[in-house]
Amino acid sequence: MEVKALKFGGLTAKRPIVQGGMGVGVSLSSLAGNVAKCGGIGTISGVHPGYKEADFKENPFRANLRAIGNELEKAKEIANGGIIGFNFMTVMNHYEEYVKEAIGAGADFIVSGAGLPVNLAKYAAGTRAAILPIVSSARALKLIVKQWQRADRLPDAVVVEGPLAGGHLGYPYGHLVDGTFDTLEDSLVDVVDYVRELEEKNDVKIPVIAGGGVRSHADVERLMALGASGVQVGTKFVATEECDAAPAFKQAYLRSRKEDVQLIESPVGLAARAIRNSFLEKVEKQGRIPVQRCYQCMNHCKQAETKYCISQALIDAVQGREGLVFCGANAYEIEKLSTVEKVMQELCGE
């Protein structure tokens, strides 16, 4: 099957590969910029992009706002005209401010999930930025579209994320554990059917992008045969020279075994997937790691009750210390460090 260019929102990517946003700090300017440079779509994670800023601990919001523009500028310089955008979780504090800051700085697109991004169209109104919701079902997409149409917008593209993805997942923890969930393929077919109806009614083209467990050209071909116009890939890009994470973070992937990849219940109330390590073992043994500093990630997090600070755990991990290492279901299959260009070639069957 011929792998065609991916077009959405007035943008064209030569290779239909969307690099998934990975935070904290796993996909910043280097990874996103190099994916875009190679003809794909680079995504900067909007989860604490300013974690390395000198004033981050004192004022995370201010540091993150500054970093959004800085990381975008650096990524654009690397990308040499390629497509760069941001991924923002809807459950974050200051979601609206971060989205508007990224758009104002010149981001080509905003992709958003971890909850239903029902207000994203309103925040992007009157701008050229493409907007893409991340969903796990056609039902979720219908709810989003209903709200977006009130702002006179439709999705420029849709990302369908399946249960084999890394990090936070759009499925109840219990369903993932007992296997009572829709596969990516099932969800993809349902979403494609609904999107075709939208396209016909509104005389538009809305490409559907499938993600979660994509690791080979065969996966790309299978998903495109089901109606996808592109794929979203995260895990496979972690073990590349250009990834923004510390070498120790990448080594965690290379050393992992199948039994090390596990489902967890995140402190923010979502199911997630991570590599079992000394940090997760400590959480299991102690039950709770007291939070020393709160980064004001989200309103519903209670510092005195949460099992651990997920922001600090992710920051520690990306910098090579003991922490929380998110990953996709197939992370254990990665055996050696690669480059972004080689990964792109493998996925596209070149």
Q: The domain containing residue 268 runs over which residues?
A: 248-318
Asked if the structure places residue 113 within a domain, the reply is yes
Tell me how many domains the chain contains.
Answer: 2
Rounded Cα distance between 145 and 198, Å, is 9
265 located within any domain: yes
> Are 133 and 233 found together in one domain?
yes
Output the tens digit of pLDDT for each of the chain's 350 residues. 778 999 999 999 999 999 999 999 999 999 999 999 999 999 999 999 999 999 999 999 999 999 999 999 999 999 999 999 999 999 999 999 999 999 999 999 999 998 899 999 999 999 999 999 999 999 999 999 999 999 999 999 999 999 999 999 988 889 888 888 899 999 999 999 999 999 999 999 999 999 999 999 999 999 999 999 999 999 999 999 999 999 999 999 999 999 999 999 998 888 999 999 999 999 999 999 999 888 878 877 778 889 999 999 999 999 999 999 999 999 999 999 999 999 999 999 99
If asked whether residues 72 and 219 sit together in one domain, one would say: yes
